[in-house]
Amino acid sequence: MNRFDWLHGYLDRLEDAHVIARRDLQTLTPVCRLALAPENWAVAARLSAGMGMRHAGIWVDLFDAPDVPADDHRVRVHACLELAGDYLLLETTVPLSRPVLASQTPIFPGVNRLERHAHDLTGVIFTDHPDEHRWTRHQAWPADRFPLRHDFPLSGETHRRTTPADTDYPFVSVQGAGVYEIPVGPVHAGIIEPGHFRFHAMGEDVLRLEERLGYVHKGIEKLAVGRDPAGLIRLAGRVSGDSTVAHAWAACQSIERATGCAVPPRALALRALLAERERIANHLGDIGAICNDVGFAFAQVQCSRLREQWQRRNRDLFGHRLLMDTLVPGGVVHDLSPEAFRTLRLDHAALHKAIEPLFDVIDDHPSLDDRLITTGILSEQDARELGCTGYVGKASGLAFDVRRDNPYPPYDELRIEIPVQREGDVAARMRVRLAEVRGSLWMLDRLLDALPEGEIVALLPATVPDAIGIGLIEGWRGEILCFVRFDGAGRIARYFPRDPSWFTWLALERLILGNIVPDFPVCNKSVNGSYAGQDL
Query: Using H for helix, E for strand and C for coil, what is the string for 12-35?
Result: HHHHHCCCCCHHHEEEECCEEEEE
| Mean of all residue pLDDT scores within the chain | 94
* The pLDDT of residue 404: 97
* Dihedral angle, C-alpha 506, 286, 218, 89, nearest 10 °: -50
**Residue 186 preceded by cis peptide, ω within 30:** yes
* The pLDDT of residue 1: 38
Half-sphere exposure of 353 (CA within 13 A, CB side): 6
Please give the average per-residue pLDDT across 280-284, as a whole number. 98
Model confidence over 266-281: pLDDT tens digits? 999 999 999 999 999 9
The DSSP code sequence of 64-83 is --TTS-GGG-EEEEEEEEEE
| Whole-angstrom distance, CA of residue 164 vs CA of residue 303 | 41
Confidence of residue 3 (pLDDT cuts 50, 70, 90): low
Query: Is the distance from CB of 392 to CB of 478 less than 8 angstroms?
Result: yes
Query: Is the distance from CB of 411 to CB of 440 less than 8 angstroms?
Result: no
Lowest mean pLDDT among 75-79, 158-162, 367-371: 158-162
Model confidence over 490-521: pLDDT tens digits? 999 999 999 999 999 999 999 999 999 999 99
| Whole-angstrom distance, CA of residue 448 vs CA of residue 270 | 9
- Cα separations (Å) of 188 from 208, 408, 529? 20, 39, 16
Query: Is the distance from CB of 195 to CB of 531 less than 8 angstroms?
Result: yes
Confidence of residue 527 (pLDDT cuts 50, 70, 90): very high
Lowest mean pLDDT among 190-204, 234-248, 338-352, 399-413: 190-204
Model confidence over 21-36: pLDDT tens digits? 888 888 888 999 999 9
**98 φ, ψ to 5°?**
-145, 75
Query: Is the distance from CB of 199 to CB of 184 less than 8 angstroms?
Result: yes
Q: Is the pLDDT of residue 2 over 90?
A: no
Which among 312, 329, 330 has a CA at the least distance from the CA of 321?
312
- Hey, how many other C-beta atoms are within 10 angstroms of the C-beta on 298? 15
Model confidence over 289-306: pLDDT tens digits? 999 999 999 999 999 999
Q: Which amino acid is at 117?
A: H
Model confidence over 68-95: pLDDT tens digits? 788 889 999 999 999 999 999 999 999 9
Half-sphere exposure of 375 (CA within 13 A, CB side): 25
Query: Is the distance from CB of 216 to CB of 194 less than 8 angstroms?
Result: yes
| Whole-angstrom distance, CA of residue 399 vs CA of residue 420 | 6
Q: What percent of the chain has pLDDT over 70?
A: 99
Q: Is the pLDDT of residue 526 over 90?
A: yes
Model confidence over 439-475: pLDDT tens digits? 999 999 999 999 999 999 999 999 999 999 999 999 9
Structural domains of the chain sorted by starting position, each given as residue range(s) with its CATH number in brackets: 5-127 (3.30.460.80)
